[in-house]
């Protein structure tokens, strides 16, 4: 599908009032290369339907300020499209040209009056006002680099005076002109080495409220001489060639998705002519193109290795293929060059049913929303069927040369994490355990309690430590289904609460006989007038239906009672995705089972403990 085709679909769906399908078409459009003028046309289409979009999004908006050291019009247009595609109406403040240094420090400036949720500091090598003098020693180079970063930090601090503000800071691409040639990489005072020194220091600040957008890597990917277009800079002060705006869109989109908890969680792949060349039912294991048998086979094997690498970083893999399951399984069991094994897939669905039906089953099995899935298939008809039936699913049509399949996925940055935690490395094992547990659940005569006891679960609930904070921040950002209020926290805010005597930040770990799942739940509460008030409580979908939430509530009630409090209370804010949390509270008679409005709940600290099968240590 081309950008123009996706744009036409978007217009058709908007005219018909089909907003979910329009959102899917918008995401399809942003997957494809586009010109800057095409992006502007796309945004005009959406602006003309603003009322419909706002209604569809339940008035959910995101306030983003752009402060730039070059013309920020391309940045603005990218934000308008990407933020809407991910489920927020964008409200944008664009500061006057080249005021990125002064606006943050002036409390009466437009950016402070706007009160943004996110501030993008769009700077580039043109804003490195002073390079080291020829012959400067490493100490002077380090001092000058630190001055650049200190200026950035001063602006971050000023912008973050209002709670909840998050920063996206461009790092610096290598400058356009490099008069030292090959010596740029050797001499510490060269523009290349100085830029690297500044960027290395910027990366040490990546975390919490401040995130670095890697413009240095993006420029390298696009080619430095393609990125720097002097005619555009001198005539219109563009920081990069507008013809490359789709590359910038993918980079910024990947970071925004991870900051907003919209990183995709599961890649679902077809098999025939997607994971290997040929049709396994016709060609057999020895006849498919896979591995060193041919150049095409090597390319398919490289794709399989890429998927395996994704799985080690916490992305769940699944198969959805129209095939005989025994025939398809043989490739994973007997092909000597296949790096993936069947038990590494969180779900393995081979049948002749519509793929949209199978994707629904996969999402349900993994306790994931459909918008967490990325479906990869070479067949345009299958891709179209899924797009029409499940507009929430991101569809990647793998047409063309298989040598480019890994690049196609990587360029879209759908799985880019904000941070990597220990739990990410164990996530594949958790999903594999989910398959084994599902098998146990389906055993004839096995009741729920017997099933839970057979898991031999062990858990711990403790006040969060510094080492827990990256994972806790990640959980609040990414968790939707068991999420009581939607509140998120930076690591700095979590650290302050964990250290405060009137706060609790419970970090909950769980393991069973199949896998160690790490930190899977967090509850944040504050002592207010002799009661514990829950700010928010989240739990990973990987451990649903185990009564872990009952064990956590027991612990919170016991802690409240020991602290002299009479109850644990809080707010439940329903969303389109947190029905699991609503069902839990309704099971305890804490809110009406059909509640669709914001509700407060209260649990007496003396309430009898709820039964569960988890051994707490």
Quickly list DSSP for 155-190. HHHHHTTSTT-EEEEE--PPPS--TTGGGGGT-TTS
pLDDT above 90 covers a percentage of the chain that reads 84
Question: With contact defined as beta carbons under 8 Å apart, do 251 and 214 qualify?
Answer: yes
Q: What mean pLDDT, rounded, does the chain reach? A: 93
- Cα angle value 113/118/124 (rounded, 5°): 105
Q: What is the pLDDT of residues 252-274, one digit of tens each?
A: 999 999 999 999 999 999 999 99
Model pLDDT, residue 442:
56
In the numeric block, the tokens 């990917």 are attached to: 221
111: helix, coil or strand? helix
d(CA 325, CA 465): 46
Q: What is the pLDDT of residues 85-134, one digit of tens each?
A: 999 999 999 999 999 999 999 999 999 999 999 999 999 999 998 999 99
d(CA 76, CA 47): 14
- Cα angle value 107/110/113 (rounded, 5°): 65
Residue among 97, 13, 78, 67 nearest 40 (CA): 78
Question: With contact defined as beta carbons under 8 Å apart, do 427 and 316 qualify?
Answer: yes
The H or E element spanning position 557 is: helix 548-562
d(CA 261, CA 286): 42
In the numeric block, the tokens 């990325």 are attached to: 374
Which pTM does this prediction carry? 0.87
Q: What are the tokens at 359?
A: 């994707």
CB atoms closer than 10 angstroms to residue 5: 13
Model pLDDT, residue 436:
65
Model pLDDT, residue 363:
95
Query: Using 50, 70 and 90 to split pLDDT, how confident is the model at 575?
Result: confident
Query: Using 50, 70 and 90 to split pLDDT, how confident is the model at 545?
Result: confident
pLDDT at 409 over 60: yes
Model pLDDT, residue 428:
76
Q: What separation in angstroms does the CA of 162 have from each of 112, 364, 573?
A: 9, 39, 24
Rounded mean pLDDT, 162-184 = 93
Q: What totals of helices (H) and strands (E) does the chain contain, helices first?
A: 24, 18
pLDDT at 444 over 60: no
Model pLDDT, residue 446:
53
Question: With contact defined as beta carbons under 8 Å apart, do 64 and 86 qualify?
Answer: no
The DSSP line for 117-166 is SEEEEE--GGG---PPPTT--HHHHHHHHHHHHHHHHHHHHHHTTSTT-E
Rounded mean pLDDT, 551-571 = 94
**Residues with Cβ within 8 Å of residue 451, at least 6 apart in sequence:** 437, 440, 441, 443
Edge-to-edge strand ranges of the sheet holding 210-213: 89-94, 61-68, 118-122, 166-170, 210-213
Q: What is the pLDDT of residues 318-375, one digit of tens each?
A: 999 999 999 999 999 999 999 999 989 999 999 999 999 999 999 999 989 999 999 9
- Cα angle value 144/148/149 (rounded, 5°): 115
Model pLDDT, residue 76:
98
CB atoms closer than 10 angstroms to residue 363: 23
pLDDT at 571 over 80: yes
**Residues with Cβ within 8 Å of residue 294, at least 6 apart in sequence:** none
d(CA 186, CA 190): 8
Rounded mean pLDDT, 420-437 = 77
Model pLDDT, residue 432:
72
d(CA 525, CA 466): 18
- Residue 94 DSSP label: E
Query: Using 50, 70 and 90 to split pLDDT, how confident is the model at 448?
Result: confident
Q: What is the pLDDT of residues 460-495, one digit of tens each?
A: 999 999 999 999 999 999 898 999 998 899 898 999
pLDDT at 4 over 60: yes
Question: With contact defined as beta carbons under 8 Å apart, do 617 and 458 qualify?
Answer: yes
Q: What are the tokens at 465?
A: 């430590």
Domain 455-616 bears CATH identifier 3.40.630.30: yes
At the top level of CATH, the class of 60-259 is alpha beta
Model pLDDT, residue 97:
96
Angle between helices 380-389 and 19-31 (to 10 degrees): 140
Q: What are the tokens at 315?
A: 């992305």
Rounded mean pLDDT, 518-547 = 93
Is-same-fold flag (60-259; 266-412)? yes
Region 266-412: CATH code: 3.40.50.1000
Angle between helices 191-203 and 138-159 (to 10 degrees): 40
Please state the domain extents for the chain: 1-59, 60-259, 266-412, 455-616
Model pLDDT, residue 429:
75
**377 vs 529 pLDDT, higher one:** 377
Q: What are the tokens at 399?
A: 């047409």
Model pLDDT, residue 223:
93
pLDDT at 443 over 60: no
d(CA 46, CA 310): 34
Question: With contact defined as beta carbons under 8 Å apart, do 578 and 482 qualify?
Answer: yes
């Amino acid at each position: 599908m081309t950008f123009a085709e996706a744009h036409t679909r978007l217009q058709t769906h908007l005219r018909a009032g089909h907003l979910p399908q329009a959102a899917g078409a918008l995401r399809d459009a942003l997957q494809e290369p586009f010109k800057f003028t095409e992006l502007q046309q796309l945004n005009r289409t959406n602006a003309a339907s603003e009322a419909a979009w706002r209604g569809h999004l339940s008035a959910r908006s995101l306030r983003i300020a752009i402060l730039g050291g070059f013309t920020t019009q391309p940045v603005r247009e990218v934000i308008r499209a990407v933020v809407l595609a991910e489920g927020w109406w964008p409200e944008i403040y664009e500061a006057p040209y080249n005021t990125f240094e002064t606006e943050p420090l002036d409390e009466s400036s437009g950016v402070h009056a706007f009160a943004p949720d996110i501030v993008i500091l769009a700077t580039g090598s043109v804003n490195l006002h002073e390079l080291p003098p020829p012959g400067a020693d490493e100490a002077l180079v380090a001092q000058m680099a630190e001055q650049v970063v200190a200026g950035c930090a001063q602006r971050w601090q000023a912008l973050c005076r209002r709670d909840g503000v998050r920063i996206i800071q461009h790092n610096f691409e290598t400058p356009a002109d490099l008069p030292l040639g090959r010596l740029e990489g050797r001499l510490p005072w060269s523009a290349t080495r100085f830029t690297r020194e500044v960027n290395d220091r910027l990366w040490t600040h990546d975390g919490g409220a401040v995130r670095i957008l890697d413009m240095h890597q993006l420029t390298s990917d696009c080619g430095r001489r393609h990125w720097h277009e002097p005619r555009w800079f001198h005539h219109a002060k563009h920081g990069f060639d507008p013809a490359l705006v789709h590359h910038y869109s993918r980079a910024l989109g990947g970071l925004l998705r991870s900051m907003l908890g919209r990183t995709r969680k599961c890649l679902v792949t077809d098999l025939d002519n997607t994971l290997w060349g040929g049709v396994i039912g016709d060609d057999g294991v020895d006849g498919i193109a896979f591995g060193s048998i041919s150049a095409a086979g090597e390319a398919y094997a490289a794709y399989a290795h890429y998927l395996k690498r994704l799985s080690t970083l916490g992305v769940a893999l699944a198969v959805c293929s129209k095939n005989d399951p025994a025939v398809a399984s043989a490739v994973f069991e007997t092909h000597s060059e296949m790096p993936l094994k069947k038990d590494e897939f969180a779900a393995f669905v081979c049948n002749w049913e519509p793929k949209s039906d199978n994707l629904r089953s996969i999402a349900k099995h993994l306790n994931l929303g459909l918008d967490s899935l990325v479906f990869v298939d070479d067949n345009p008809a299958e891709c179209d069927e899924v797009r029409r039936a499940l507009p929430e699913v991101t569809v990647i049509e793998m047409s063309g040369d298989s040598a480019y399949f890994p690049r196609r996925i990587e360029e879209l940055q759908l799985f880019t994490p904000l941070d990597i935690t220990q739990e990410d490395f164990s996530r594949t094992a958790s999903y594999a355990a989910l398959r084994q547990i599902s098998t146990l659940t389906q055993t004839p005569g096995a009741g729920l309690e017997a099933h839970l006891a057979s898991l031999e679960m062990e858990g711990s609930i403790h006040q969060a430590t510094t080492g827990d904070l990256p994972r806790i921040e990640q959980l609040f950002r990414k968790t939707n289904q068991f999420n009581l209020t939607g509140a998120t926290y930076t690591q700095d805010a979590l650290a302050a609460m964990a250290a405060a005597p009137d706060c609790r930040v419970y970090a909950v770990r769980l393991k069973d006989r199949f896998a160690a799942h790490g930190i899977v739940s967090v509850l944040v509460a504050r002592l207010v007038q002799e009661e514990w008030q829950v700010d928010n409580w989240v739990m990973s979908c990987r451990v649903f239906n185990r009564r872990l939430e009952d064990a956590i509530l027991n612990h919170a009630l016991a802690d409240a009672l020991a602290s002299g409090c009479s109850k644990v209370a809080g707010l439940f804010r329903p969303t389109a995705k947190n029905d699991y949390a609503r069902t839990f509270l309704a099971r305890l008679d804490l809110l009406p089972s059909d509640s669709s409005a914001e509700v407060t709940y209260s649990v007496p600290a003396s309430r009898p403990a709820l039964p569960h099968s988890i051994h707490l240590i």
